[in-house]
């Protein structure tokens, strides 16, 4: 209950905001920040809880975007269906990638995820139906009442998705699944010998993580009215998800949320005031800084300060 009441309040607040006369740019920018929250939370299930650091976010995010595109172009499917099917397809990809590579050591798994990104990107570049290398323009459907603009509706939808993703991550964390993931992160061999079915748990984490990332990618084509391979599968999505989770703190579901909000907001500010490229520099520098100096992230720093003042 302690979680669900604030969560419900947040969703209602988001919807309320979307209906209020706030500057349109706020929704435009916040949508990206909320996307980061979902991506970082999803990444953390496999990368943080299980300890399998990976760079594959862009593959699932991009595939989610393209699945939604295909559904929209072929069937005129509504957003909810796009998101649901994208989640299913990307969950399947997560399962497949996991099956292929989770038996391998950490870095091989990470590199394999990069390989999946480029293979997906190449497939989309060569697929005429979705526009190939030049991409596809998409006409947004009529916006659903009571929202004034499509962006506002997407904002509300993404806010709901963020809360949902966090709720799922929280459930995994406190359940016996989370206990098992933490055990296999600390020592996979000892976990196996303690009765933990490590491969099954890793596959579960991979599938759930992939599904959530796909869901986050699905509304993107509608958000941009445009979909194109290079930006959809850009490695920057991967570095942002990873950095947000590691900067925020990987042991608790709050970590990715804090990291995503901090990083996302900072990036929006930097993009507007300086440039888009410096954005990526900011992420890189912060990631390296935290990984070296504060490996437990913002959450870890808060814990230390609290201890210090007790």
Partner 1 sequence: MFFSLDLLFEALMFGVLLGCFYAAVSIGLSVSFGLLDVPHVAHPAIMVFGSYCTYLLASYGWDPLVAGTVLMAPFFLLGMLVYRFYYETFEKRGTEAGVRGLAFFFGIAFIIEVGLILGFGVDQRTVNAPYIGESLRLGDYRIPHRMLVAFGVALVLTFVLTLYLSKTFTGRAIKAVAQDEPALRLMGANPVRIKQWAFGIATAASALAGAMLIIVGPVEPALDRLYIGRTFAIVVLAGLGSMTGTLAAGLILGIAESIVLMFFGASWAPAVAFGILLLVLGVRPQGLFGR
Partner 2 sequence: MAALLQVKDVSKHFGGFTALAGVSIEIAQGERFGLIGPNGSGKTTLINCISGTLRNETGSIRFQSSEISRLPAYQRTRLGIARSFQVPRPFHAMTVLENLLVPFAYVAHRKERDAQGEAMEILRRMGLADKAQALSSQLSQVELRKLELARAMAARPRLLISDEAMAGLAGAEVDEVLKILFDLNASGITVIMIEHIMQAVMRFSQRVVCLDAGKIICEGTPTEIVANGDVQRAYLGA
CA 233, CA 91: separation in Å to the nearest integer? 17
Binding test (CB under 8 A) with partner 1, winner from 84, 111, 168, 298: 111
Find, among 111, 76, 113, the residue nearest to 98 by Cα: 113
Give the one residue of 37, 162, 165, 196 binding partner 2; rule: CB under 8 A: 196
| Rounded Cα–Cα distance for residues 19 and 234 (Å) | 32
- Residue 122 beta carbon to partner 1: minimum distance, rounded to whole angstroms: 4
Q: Which is nearer to partner 1, 10 or 235 (CB)?
A: 235
Site size toward partner 2, by CB under 8 A? 20
Cα torsion 272, 274, 276, 279 to 10°: value is -100
What would the two tokens of residue 121 be?
A: 């990107």
Alpha helices by DSSP H, the chain: 4-19, 24-44, 57-75, 79-101, 106-125, 150-174, 176-186, 188-193, 198-217, 220-224, 229-232, 235-248, 254-273, 276-293, 297-309
Is residue 161 within the footprint of partner 1 (CB under 8 A)?
no
In the complex with partner 1, the residue whose CB is nearer, 116 or 138, is: 116
Q: Which stretch binds partner 2 (CB under 8 A): 65-73, 114-122, 173-181, 207-215?
A: 173-181
> What residue 101 binds from partner 1, partner 2, none (CB within 5 to 8 A, per partner kind)?
partner 1
Site string for partner 1, 15-34 (x = CB under 8 A): --------------------
Which lies closer to partner 1 via its Cβ, residue 54 or residue 82? 54
> What residues have CB less than 8 Å from 20, skipping those under 6 apart?
none
Of 246-275, binders to partner 2 (CB under 8 A) are: 251
Which of 7-15, 114-122, 156-164, 197-205 is the region at the interface with partner 2 (rule: CB under 8 A)?
197-205
Q: What are phi and psi of 227, to 5 degrees?
A: -135, 140
User: What is the four-CA torsion angle of 167, 171, 174, 180, rounded to 10 degrees?
Assistant: -130
Q: Which does 179 bind (CB under 5 to 8 A by kind): partner 2, partner 1, none?
A: partner 2
Which residues of this chain interact with partner 1, rule CB under 8 A?
Answer: 51, 53, 55, 100-101, 104, 106-108, 110-112, 114-116, 118-119, 122-123, 125-126, 133, 186, 235, 239, 242-243, 246, 277-278, 280-281, 283-285, 287-288, 291-292, 295
């Amino acid at each position: 209950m302690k979680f669900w009441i604030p969560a419900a309040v947040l969703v209602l607040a988001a919807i309320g905001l979307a209906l209020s006369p706030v500057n349109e740019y706020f929704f435009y920018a916040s949508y990206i920040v909320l996307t980061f929250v979902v991506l970082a939370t999803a990444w953390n299930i496999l990368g943080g809880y299980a300890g399998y650091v990976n760079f594959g976010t862009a593959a699932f995010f991009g595939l989610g975007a393209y699945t939604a595109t295909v559904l929209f172009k072929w069937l005129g499917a509504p957003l909810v269906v796009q998101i649901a099917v994208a989640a299913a397809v990307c969950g399947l990809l997560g399962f497949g990638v996991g099956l292929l590579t989770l038996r391998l050591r950490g870095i091989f798994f990470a590199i394999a995820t990069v390989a999946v990104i480029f293979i997906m990107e190449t497939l989309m570049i060569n697929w005429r139906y979705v526009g190939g290398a030049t991409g596809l323009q998409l006409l947004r459907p009529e916006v659903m009442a009571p929202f004034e603009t499509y962006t506002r509706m997407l904002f509300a939808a993404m806010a709901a998705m963020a809360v949902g993703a966090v709720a799922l991550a929280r459930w995994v964390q406190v359940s016996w699944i989370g206990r098992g993931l933490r055990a296999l992160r600390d020592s996979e061999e000892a976990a196996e010998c303690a009765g933990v079915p490590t491969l099954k748990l890793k596959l579960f984490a991979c599938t759930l993580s992939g599904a959530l990332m796909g869901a986050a990618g699905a509304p993107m084509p509608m958000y941009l009215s445009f979909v194109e391979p290079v930006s959809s599968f850009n490695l920057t999505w991967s570095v942002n998800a990873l950095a947000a989770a590691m900067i925020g703190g990987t042991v608790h579901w709050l970590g990715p949320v804090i990291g995503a909000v901090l990083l996302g907001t900072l990036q929006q500010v930097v993009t507007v005031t300086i440039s888009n490229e410096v954005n990526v520099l900011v992420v890189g520098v912060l990631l390296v800084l935290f990984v070296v100096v504060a490996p437990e992230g913002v959450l870890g720093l808060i814990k230390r300060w609290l201890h210090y003042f007790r």
